[in-house]
Structure 1
Amino acid sequence: MEGASPPPQADDSDFLDAQLYLDEPGDAPHAAQEDAPRLAVKFLVPNVAAGSIIGKGGVNVSDIQAQSQARIQIGEPWPGTLGEFGAPPAHDRLLLITGTLDALLTALHAVLATFRSELAALAAVAAREDGAMALRMLVHARLCGTLIGRGGATIRSFKDASGAVFNISPPPGPGDPPERVVRLTGTPDQLLRAVALVLTKLSQNPDYPLLTDVSLGFGPPAAAPAEAWGGAAPPPGGGAGAFLPHAAAAAAAGVGTTSLVMAVPEDRVGVVIGRGGAVINQIKAVLGVRIRISRRGECLPGTNDRSCEISGPPESVALAQRLIQQKVEGVERE
């Protein structure tokens, strides 16, 4: 009707909340499936090399992100990081790059160019006198079998295809971080080809999203019990990832299926759900769990947190809780 006001438009959070209750397979919107998959890769870089990536006032990292459309995060200096193949612990920094494969490789190309332009950074990553550099990727130990292949066939084919040299650190021991160091040596072009091959192969493993920690830290120890992946005891004052008392007991029981309730801050529910329900539906589909988040305004008593109930096999529930907590903590660091 002429002159009539347009209907009110729902904001993103309204739409996302409406997607919470899509529990059946195939309910995720088609638009989310058409998006290019986002990957993540984590490197250990010497402190001086990390400084060259950041640049004065952060200008270098801002330019690289704008050029590549990838996200780059660099952790604080980390004393006692993984010593390389038995070497003493080094003062390295964690470099996390996330984005589509093309964006990620574009960002890495710019990072390597930055190393080559600064003498101190180049010296820190130089591997041989012929201009070769060394990159140290962190790959979860449970994904390394995919990278190595039967009898080492996959990694040999990657060496031949890229021209880079591959070396993988020994499996972690009890209580060690679960990542292994994949050391790549070669020219910048060889390194880019090697990283592309590795990420393409790893992303084909259905456990890749679960075992790729997108935080500026090492994952939980390889031998940690399932409860430790999210912390069975609630932190003071509640907060993201806190278990309610009955949930800790249910998780500890470890029988058949279990259910837990974790707290998610009201203002961070959207990132847990994802646009169009993409994040929460992926977690449900991959892990085979059911997830129910209370409706807006229905908060846990005495808090501004909404309840997130996860049910399913104990190990899958623990992994889902860990993934959700990572999503929330990622927002907290931004």
Structure 2
Amino acid sequence: MESPESSYMSSPEVPPRRSASLKSPISDDKEKPTYIRFLVSNAAAGSVIGKGGSTITEFQSESGARIQLSRNHEFFPGTSDRIIMISGAFDEIYKAMELILAKLLSEIHAEDGDDVDPRSKVRLIVPNSSCGGIIGKGGATIKSFIEDSQAGIKISPQDNNYIGLSDRLVTLTGSLEEQMRAIFLILSKLTEDAHYSQSMNAPFSYAGVNIAGFHGIPHPYVLPSVAYNAINFGPSGAGGKFQSNKEDRGNSVTIGVADEHIGVVVGRGGRNIMEIGQVSGARIKISDRGDFISGTSDRKVTITGSQGAIRTAEAMILQKVASASEM
């Protein structure tokens, strides 16, 4: 079930004249590394990956961008869709998005033939703190983006049902050309926001979502193997509601770390885990070998302490795991 979306703005009834050319972001913003995230269904993710990772390898090679996915059945809260993150320079991300969306559109055409709706939908994940820049004063910016791109643009309300969820969905409806123009405009605006680009390496905080390796695709294409805030949820972990814990010092969060990465989290003689505990002020406990998060090969890492201590410990663990993934 999709999270409820309220239309902030939709396509204008009378299409105004579109700008003739793409106006690139300022050169400095265009060159610095940034990212974009969006949702795809399980089936669509499979076609992006390709047999043995062939399609995603080709797209990365052609665009120069890095393309990563959340694991099979690990979804954005309130949806049944997986997360794709593309990172790199502005032009690299734009090219990779075009390759992926064109591929997905061709798959739909192959299945449905002439019956396919020419106006498809793509949902971007945007930090709540960056949505104001897209909306603009009195909705002026989003209105200009709709008029320029001819795409429908909807921004979902902030969902307070999930702990740590500080992202909203920006839904773009239209033809491939219209969607790509809207993506160009939105990403141009986001790259002007220093906080947005800085959040590229920040831990994801999706309630109960285990952002980890997708079984069957090579390591460079998977989001870091760390689950965030998997506390007080149903057996599957996904889509549960957060139940607040009033005792700040007694918060406890269980995250999942791929079994092969536990060694780098612990460190020689326990050096790394001791350092993480000392710096963060949190208490960290790792499950025994073979004691995995249900349905995964991820060990349970339980972090106890204040919310700030837990966040710091999570970030440090993610950094250890990410550095091991890139070796």
Q: Tell whether the structures are fold-level matches, with TM greater than 0.5.
A: yes
Q: Is the 8 A contact 2:128 2:167 kept in 1?
A: yes
Specify whether residues 35 and 209 from structure 1 end up closer, same or farther in structure 2 by C-alpha distance, changes over 3 A only.
Answer: closer
Deviations 1:303-328 (A, max 9, x none): xxxxxxxxxxxx8x998887665444
- Report deviation, 1:212: 3.9
Counterpart secondary structure, 1:172? coil
Q: Is the 8 A contact 1:94 1:216 kept in 2?
A: no
Once residues 274 and 36 of structure 2 are traced to their aligned partners in structure 1, the CA distance between those partners, rounded to angstroms, is 24
- Report deviation, 1:239: 3.4
Which letter maps to 2:45? A
Gaps spanning 5+ residues in structure 1: where? 1-32, 84-88, 250-314
Counterpart secondary structure, 2:154? strand
- Report deviation, 1:51: 0.7
Deviations 1:40-65 (A, max 9, x none): 11111011111111111111111111
User: Is 1:165 paired with 2:152?
Assistant: yes
Q: Is the 8 A contact 2:76 2:206 kept in 1?
A: no
Alignment-derived partner of residue 65 in structure 2:
70
Gaps spanning 5+ residues in structure 2: where? 1-27, 208-227, 230-241, 255-264, 283-307
Alignment-derived partner of residue 52 in structure 1:
47
Specify whether residues 131 and 174 from structure 1 end up closer, same or farther in structure 2 by C-alpha distance, changes over 3 A only.
Answer: closer
Aligned residue runs from structure 1 range 51-130, under 5 A? 51-79=46-74, 81-83=76-78, 89-90=79-80, 92-119=81-108, 129-130=116-117
% identical equivalent positions: 29
Alignment-derived partner of residue 191 in structure 2:
203
Once residues 147 and 153 of structure 1 are traced to their aligned partners in structure 2, the CA distance between those partners, rounded to angstroms, is 9
* Structure (1 or 2) with the larger CA radius of gyration: 1
- Report deviation, 1:218: 3.2
Once residues 201 and 117 of structure 1 are traced to their aligned partners in structure 2, the CA distance between those partners, rounded to angstroms, is 29
Deviations 1:95-132 (A, max 9, x none): 11111111111111111221122238877xxxx95412
Q: Is the 8 A contact 2:145 2:185 kept in 1?
A: yes
Q: TM-score, normalised by structure 2?
A: 0.57
Specify whether residues 327 and 196 from structure 1 end up closer, same or farther in structure 2 by C-alpha distance, changes over 3 A only.
Answer: farther
Q: Is the 8 A contact 1:37 1:100 kept in 2?
A: yes
Q: Is the 8 A contact 1:138 1:182 kept in 2?
A: yes
Once residues 331 and 197 of structure 1 are traced to their aligned partners in structure 2, the CA distance between those partners, rounded to angstroms, is 33
- Report deviation, 1:80: 5.5
Number of residue pairs matched by the alignment: 229
Specify whether residues 93 and 321 from structure 1 end up closer, same or farther in structure 2 by C-alpha distance, changes over 3 A only.
Answer: same
Specify whether residues 155 and 44 from structure 1 end up closer, same or farther in structure 2 by C-alpha distance, changes over 3 A only.
Answer: same
Alignment-derived partner of residue 152 in structure 1:
139
RMSD over aligned Cα, in angstroms?
4.3
Specify whether residues 201 and 60 from structure 1 end up closer, same or farther in structure 2 by C-alpha distance, changes over 3 A only.
Answer: same
Which residue of 265, 272, 275 corresponds with 1:239?
272
- Report deviation, 1:332: 3.1
Counterpart secondary structure, 2:126? strand
Q: TM-score, normalised by structure 1?
A: 0.56
Q: Is the 8 A contact 1:137 1:183 kept in 2?
A: yes
